[in-house]
Structure 1
Amino acid sequence: MYYKSKKIIELDRVHRIGKETPVETRPIVAKFHHYSDRELVRKALIEKHTDLRALHQGVGIQQTKATLEKRRNKQHIVDRERNAGRTTKWAGSRLLVKGQNDGYHELNN
Protein backbone atom coordinates (compact mmCIF):
# COMPACT_ATOMS: atom_id res chain seq x y z
CA MET A 1 0.00 0.00 0.00
CA TYR A 2 1.32 3.40 -0.91
CA TYR A 3 0.38 6.90 0.12
CA LYS A 4 1.23 9.77 -2.20
CA SER A 5 1.32 13.26 -0.79
CA LYS A 6 2.07 16.55 -2.45
CA LYS A 7 3.50 17.74 0.86
CA ILE A 8 6.96 16.73 2.06
CA ILE A 9 6.57 14.89 5.36
CA GLU A 10 9.43 15.22 7.84
CA LEU A 11 10.27 12.30 10.12
CA ASP A 12 12.61 12.63 13.08
CA ARG A 13 13.36 8.92 13.25
CA VAL A 14 12.05 5.64 11.86
CA HIS A 15 12.97 2.17 13.10
CA ARG A 16 11.66 -1.34 13.61
CA ILE A 17 11.07 -2.81 17.05
CA GLY A 18 11.56 -6.35 18.26
CA LYS A 19 13.89 -9.13 17.30
CA GLU A 20 14.09 -10.11 13.64
CA THR A 21 12.56 -13.51 12.84
CA PRO A 22 11.85 -15.13 9.47
CA VAL A 23 8.24 -15.88 10.49
CA GLU A 24 6.89 -12.50 11.58
CA THR A 25 7.24 -8.95 10.37
CA ARG A 26 8.28 -6.34 12.90
CA PRO A 27 6.34 -3.14 13.53
CA ILE A 28 7.77 0.11 12.19
CA VAL A 29 7.83 3.07 14.56
CA ALA A 30 8.05 6.58 13.15
CA LYS A 31 8.31 9.90 14.96
CA PHE A 32 6.85 12.73 12.91
CA HIS A 33 8.51 16.13 13.11
CA HIS A 34 5.18 17.96 12.83
CA TYR A 35 1.89 16.92 14.41
CA SER A 36 0.01 18.00 11.28
CA ASP A 37 2.05 15.51 9.19
CA ARG A 38 1.11 12.67 11.52
CA GLU A 39 -2.57 13.57 11.32
CA LEU A 40 -2.41 13.86 7.52
CA VAL A 41 -1.02 10.33 7.21
CA ARG A 42 -3.30 8.89 9.89
CA LYS A 43 -6.48 10.32 8.35
CA ALA A 44 -5.50 9.20 4.86
CA LEU A 45 -4.96 5.66 6.10
CA ILE A 46 -8.21 5.63 8.07
CA GLU A 47 -10.03 6.17 4.76
CA LYS A 48 -8.37 2.99 3.46
CA HIS A 49 -9.10 1.08 6.69
CA THR A 50 -10.55 -2.00 4.98
CA ASP A 51 -7.47 -2.23 2.75
CA LEU A 52 -5.22 -2.09 5.80
CA ARG A 53 -7.09 -4.87 7.56
CA ALA A 54 -6.72 -7.13 4.54
CA LEU A 55 -2.97 -6.51 4.59
CA HIS A 56 -2.76 -6.99 8.39
CA GLN A 57 -1.48 -3.43 8.79
CA GLY A 58 -2.59 -0.48 10.83
CA VAL A 59 -1.68 2.91 12.17
CA GLY A 60 -1.66 3.63 15.87
CA ILE A 61 -0.75 6.48 18.15
CA GLN A 62 1.30 5.85 21.25
CA GLN A 63 -0.64 6.91 24.33
CA THR A 64 0.85 8.14 27.61
CA LYS A 65 0.83 5.96 30.71
CA ALA A 66 -1.74 8.27 32.33
CA THR A 67 -4.07 7.91 29.34
CA LEU A 68 -3.70 4.13 29.30
CA GLU A 69 -4.45 3.98 33.03
CA LYS A 70 -7.63 6.06 32.57
CA ARG A 71 -8.70 3.73 29.75
CA ARG A 72 -8.12 0.66 31.91
CA ASN A 73 -10.26 2.19 34.66
CA LYS A 74 -13.12 2.76 32.17
CA GLN A 75 -12.91 -0.64 30.46
CA HIS A 76 -15.88 -1.99 32.44
CA ILE A 77 -17.99 0.82 30.95
CA VAL A 78 -16.84 -0.12 27.43
CA ASP A 79 -17.79 -3.75 28.03
CA ARG A 80 -21.22 -2.74 29.40
CA GLU A 81 -21.97 -0.45 26.45
CA ARG A 82 -20.82 -2.95 23.83
CA ASN A 83 -22.87 -5.73 25.44
CA ALA A 84 -25.87 -3.39 25.16
CA GLY A 85 -25.18 -3.12 21.42
CA ARG A 86 -23.78 0.40 21.42
CA THR A 87 -20.74 1.57 19.45
CA THR A 88 -17.86 3.01 21.47
CA LYS A 89 -14.55 4.60 20.61
CA TRP A 90 -11.69 6.28 22.42
CA ALA A 91 -10.53 9.89 21.99
CA GLY A 92 -7.41 10.01 24.13
CA SER A 93 -8.63 9.09 27.61
CA ARG A 94 -12.24 10.08 26.85
CA LEU A 95 -14.79 7.35 26.16
CA LEU A 96 -17.25 8.23 23.41
CA VAL A 97 -20.53 6.40 22.75
CA LYS A 98 -22.54 6.69 19.55
CA GLY A 99 -25.94 8.27 20.19
CA GLN A 100 -29.25 7.96 18.37
CA ASN A 101 -28.44 10.88 16.05
CA ASP A 102 -25.21 9.14 14.90
CA GLY A 103 -23.16 11.64 16.90
CA TYR A 104 -20.77 10.65 19.66
CA HIS A 105 -21.03 11.92 23.23
CA GLU A 106 -18.70 11.44 26.18
CA LEU A 107 -19.63 8.87 28.79
CA ASN A 108 -18.17 9.15 32.30
CA ASN A 109 -20.03 6.66 34.50
Structure 2
Amino acid sequence: MSTESPTKRRRNGGEVRVVQVIGGSEVHIGHGLLRKVPEMALAAGIKASRFVIVSDETVFGLYGQTLVDAFVAAGHTPLTFQVKPGENSKCRMYKQQIEDHMLEHRCQRDTCMAEWSAT
Protein backbone atom coordinates (compact mmCIF):
# COMPACT_ATOMS: atom_id res chain seq x y z
CA MET A 1 0.00 0.00 0.00
CA SER A 2 1.21 3.45 -0.80
CA THR A 3 2.31 5.86 1.89
CA GLU A 4 1.00 8.79 -0.15
CA SER A 5 -2.01 10.58 1.26
CA PRO A 6 -5.26 10.31 -0.69
CA THR A 7 -6.17 13.05 -3.13
CA LYS A 8 -9.68 14.37 -3.55
CA ARG A 9 -11.43 14.88 -6.87
CA ARG A 10 -14.87 16.10 -7.77
CA ARG A 11 -16.79 13.74 -10.04
CA ASN A 12 -20.36 14.39 -11.19
CA GLY A 13 -21.17 16.49 -8.15
CA GLY A 14 -19.67 14.16 -5.53
CA GLU A 15 -16.36 14.01 -3.78
CA VAL A 16 -14.12 11.08 -4.62
CA ARG A 17 -11.02 10.10 -2.66
CA VAL A 18 -8.29 8.58 -4.79
CA VAL A 19 -5.60 6.45 -3.17
CA GLN A 20 -2.50 5.49 -5.16
CA VAL A 21 -1.47 1.85 -4.75
CA ILE A 22 1.38 -0.34 -5.91
CA GLY A 23 2.03 -0.35 -9.65
CA GLY A 24 0.41 3.00 -10.34
CA SER A 25 -3.15 1.75 -9.81
CA GLU A 26 -5.74 3.84 -8.05
CA VAL A 27 -8.53 3.04 -5.62
CA HIS A 28 -11.52 5.40 -5.91
CA ILE A 29 -13.67 5.89 -2.81
CA GLY A 30 -16.99 7.72 -2.90
CA HIS A 31 -20.77 7.48 -3.05
CA GLY A 32 -22.50 6.31 -6.21
CA LEU A 33 -19.34 5.19 -7.99
CA LEU A 34 -20.50 1.64 -8.66
CA ARG A 35 -22.76 2.67 -11.53
CA LYS A 36 -19.93 4.78 -12.98
CA VAL A 37 -17.28 2.03 -13.12
CA PRO A 38 -17.71 1.32 -16.87
CA GLU A 39 -17.50 5.00 -17.85
CA MET A 40 -14.51 5.48 -15.52
CA ALA A 41 -12.73 2.49 -17.09
CA LEU A 42 -13.32 3.78 -20.60
CA ALA A 43 -12.31 7.32 -19.59
CA ALA A 44 -9.06 5.87 -18.19
CA GLY A 45 -8.30 4.50 -21.65
CA ILE A 46 -9.05 0.85 -20.93
CA LYS A 47 -9.82 -0.83 -24.24
CA ALA A 48 -11.04 -4.34 -23.55
CA SER A 49 -12.92 -6.83 -25.66
CA ARG A 50 -14.31 -8.31 -22.46
CA PHE A 51 -14.72 -7.36 -18.81
CA VAL A 52 -14.62 -9.92 -15.99
CA ILE A 53 -15.90 -9.24 -12.46
CA VAL A 54 -14.50 -11.46 -9.71
CA SER A 55 -16.14 -11.13 -6.31
CA ASP A 56 -17.02 -13.10 -3.25
CA GLU A 57 -20.60 -14.36 -3.05
CA THR A 58 -21.61 -12.01 -0.24
CA VAL A 59 -20.38 -8.82 -1.91
CA PHE A 60 -21.73 -9.90 -5.29
CA GLY A 61 -25.12 -10.58 -3.70
CA LEU A 62 -25.20 -7.02 -2.38
CA TYR A 63 -23.67 -5.07 -5.28
CA GLY A 64 -22.97 -7.39 -8.20
CA GLN A 65 -26.13 -6.89 -10.20
CA THR A 66 -25.76 -3.10 -10.00
CA LEU A 67 -22.26 -3.39 -11.46
CA VAL A 68 -23.35 -5.87 -14.14
CA ASP A 69 -26.27 -3.60 -15.10
CA ALA A 70 -23.90 -0.62 -15.39
CA PHE A 71 -21.68 -2.55 -17.81
CA VAL A 72 -24.70 -3.71 -19.83
CA ALA A 73 -25.97 -0.12 -20.05
CA ALA A 74 -22.52 0.86 -21.38
CA GLY A 75 -22.75 -1.82 -24.08
CA HIS A 76 -20.68 -4.57 -22.43
CA THR A 77 -21.94 -7.81 -20.92
CA PRO A 78 -19.36 -8.77 -18.30
CA LEU A 79 -18.37 -12.28 -17.37
CA THR A 80 -18.66 -12.90 -13.62
CA PHE A 81 -17.06 -15.33 -11.22
CA GLN A 82 -17.93 -15.68 -7.54
CA VAL A 83 -15.85 -17.25 -4.79
CA LYS A 84 -16.72 -18.22 -1.24
CA PRO A 85 -16.26 -15.38 1.25
CA GLY A 86 -13.22 -15.36 3.50
CA GLU A 87 -9.47 -15.72 3.40
CA ASN A 88 -9.61 -19.37 2.30
CA SER A 89 -10.71 -18.20 -1.16
CA LYS A 90 -7.41 -16.39 -1.67
CA CYS A 91 -5.54 -19.44 -2.88
CA ARG A 92 -4.11 -21.08 -5.97
CA MET A 93 -7.14 -23.37 -6.35
CA TYR A 94 -9.49 -20.41 -6.86
CA LYS A 95 -6.94 -18.68 -9.10
CA GLN A 96 -6.95 -21.77 -11.31
CA GLN A 97 -10.76 -21.91 -11.31
CA ILE A 98 -10.95 -18.24 -12.34
CA GLU A 99 -8.42 -18.80 -15.12
CA ASP A 100 -10.26 -21.92 -16.34
CA HIS A 101 -13.57 -20.02 -16.31
CA MET A 102 -12.06 -17.22 -18.36
CA LEU A 103 -10.52 -19.65 -20.85
CA GLU A 104 -13.83 -21.53 -21.21
CA HIS A 105 -15.45 -18.20 -22.12
CA ARG A 106 -12.73 -17.38 -24.63
CA CYS A 107 -11.23 -14.43 -22.79
CA GLN A 108 -8.20 -13.08 -24.57
CA ARG A 109 -5.22 -10.84 -23.85
CA ASP A 110 -7.31 -7.68 -23.98
CA THR A 111 -9.73 -8.87 -21.29
CA CYS A 112 -10.01 -6.54 -18.31
CA MET A 113 -10.48 -8.30 -14.98
CA ALA A 114 -11.45 -6.57 -11.76
CA GLU A 115 -11.63 -8.04 -8.30
CA TRP A 116 -14.54 -6.55 -6.40
CA SER A 117 -14.62 -6.50 -2.63
CA ALA A 118 -16.00 -4.43 0.20
CA THR A 119 -13.55 -3.46 2.88
Q: Which has the higher contact order (CA 8 A, sep 6+)?
A: 2
Q: Whose strand fraction is larger, Structure 1's or Structure 2's?
A: 2
Which structure has the larger Rg over C-alpha atoms? 1
Normalized against structure 2, the TM-score is what? 0.30
- TM-score between both structures, scaled by the size of structure 1: 0.32
